[in-house]
Amino acid sequence: MEVEPLYGGIEAGGTKFICAIGSGPDDIRAEERFPTTSPAETIGRAVAFFRRWQEAGGPALSAIGIASFGPLDADPASPTFGYITVPPKPGWANTDFAGAVQRALNLPAAFDTDVNAAALAEWRWGAGRGLHTLVYLTVGTGIGGGAIVHGRLLHGLAHPEMGHMRIPHDRERDPFPGVCPYHGDCLEGLAAGPALEARWGQPAESLPPDHPAWELEANYLALGLMNLVYALAPQRIILGGGVMEQSHLFPRIRQKLLQLFKGYVANPALLQDMERYILPPALGQRAGVLGAIALAQQTHLSGGK
Ligand code: ADP
Ligand code: ZN
């Protein structure tokens, strides 16, 4: 019987790390979570988790995948590949994350953003299976997006920053200036969880479904999605993150997006099929750590390219 390769995954979030060993959603053999503190301590705990597996004689790992908060350098040709670059998280600037893991465990280490990894996992095992071009957008503490284009994660100058798109902002309807420290009223500044909380004076999760916050929210997200549809022509858009736990947002966003198209899309079948076009993630909370495993698998199967 052919033995399926086994991988390590690290989901590195701003508040917690999740480490796992496995080969996919139905095969997670070990898992551990701990809070994010300093780089040395937190990366050290992750390394220790995989070392224990190795020392206990568990089946060998073929690669480690790291799905991290950013901004980060995921370009294998860059001298600072594997680094977290200039994050809002104190103490983590210029951290050689992937290099530290790779040297400590002597294994190839794949490295990408948490949202790119989640896009990869949803494509591989979740709501994007069978497609070649899709977008995964998370609406949580920030807004971030990853795209699979022709079966590969989209990387260019760096990873995309879809949350910082500009969208029309009608200041008569919504005088709130936005919370993005760089742009004020970009998509993230207007529609991420902290923007909802600052605009309405209460946490997003406590706003009832009939609160006017949600019509505005659906409007902003639909404007952002319209730009993504027109720019990337994804075959599907998957919307995750804490704010999208408000499941009533899905029908509202679909309806607003239809209105915004005004009948103009290159594939008119889309206009009849919005329920299958805008979807929640199938992997839910597990998309991050499974994404890390998917990154490791991708690196292993491509021979490190
Ligand atoms: P993170 O982005 O930090 O990984 P989340 O995706 O959970 O984590 O996003 C946290 C943000 O989402 C917070 O601003 C919070 O207010 C908001 N949020 C979390 N759960 C819900 C919910 N059920 N409904 C609406 N907003 C939520
Ligand atoms: Zn911004």
203 lines ligand 1 (CB under 6 A): yes
Using CA atoms, how far apart are residues 49 and 211, in angstroms rounded to an integer?
45
Residues with CB under 5 A from ligand 2 (ion): 164, 180, 182-183, 186
Using CA atoms, how far apart are residues 254 and 133, in angstroms rounded to an integer?
19
- Residue 41's pLDDT is 98
Residue found under tokens 């690196």: 299
Using CA atoms, how far apart are residues 92 and 163, in angstroms rounded to an integer?
21
Cα of 11 vs centre of ligand 2, distance in Å, is: 24
Cα of 164 vs centre of ligand 2, distance in Å, is: 4
Amino acid at 6: L
At the top level of CATH, the class of 127-280 is alpha beta
- Residue 305's pLDDT is 54
Question: Helices (DSSP H) in 15-113: which residue ranges?
Answer: 39-55, 97-105
In the chain, the largest separation of any two C-alpha atoms, in whole Å, equals 66
204 lines ligand 1 (CB under 6 A): yes
Using CA atoms, how far apart are residues 19 and 38, in angstroms rounded to an integer?
16
245 lines ligand 1 (CB under 6 A): yes
Cα of 208 vs centre of ligand 1, distance in Å, is: 15
Residues 92-140: pLDDT tens digits?
999 999 999 999 999 999 999 999 999 999 999 999 999 999 999 999 9
- Residue 223's pLDDT is 98
> Which protein residue's CA is at the shortest distance from atom 13 of ligand 1?
193
Q: Which helix (H) or strand (E) holds 118?
A: helix 114-125
Amino acid at 78: S
- Residue 57's pLDDT is 92
Most informative mutation of 68, 190, 243 for ligand 1 (most atoms within 8 A of CB): 243
Cα angle 196, 202, 207; round to 5: 75
- Residue 2's pLDDT is 63
Torsion angle of C-alpha atoms 92, 96, 102, 108, degrees rounded to 10: 110
22 lines ligand 1 (CB under 6 A): no
Three-state SS for 153? strand
Do residues 62 and 7 touch, judged by C-beta distance below 8 A? yes
240 lines ligand 1 (CB under 6 A): no
CATH 3.30.420.40 in the chain, residue ranges: 6-116+285-301, 127-280
Query: What is the CATH T-level fold of the domain 6-116+285-301, as seen in this structure?
Result: Nucleotidyltransferase; domain 5 (3.30.420)
198 lines ligand 1 (CB under 6 A): no
- Residue stretches of the chain with pLDDT short of 50: none
Three-state SS for 270? helix
- Residue 4's pLDDT is 83
Residues 235-245: pLDDT tens digits?
999 999 999 99
Cα of 187 vs centre of ligand 2, distance in Å, is: 7
89 lines ligand 1 (CB under 6 A): no
Cα of 182 vs centre of ligand 2, distance in Å, is: 5
Using CA atoms, how far apart are residues 107 and 252, in angstroms rounded to an integer?
46
Q: Which helix (H) or strand (E) holds 240?
A: strand 236-240
Residues 6+ apart with CB under 8 A from 3: 59
200 lines ligand 1 (CB under 6 A): no
User: Which ligand lies nearest to the CA atom of residue 163 in the structure?
Assistant: 2
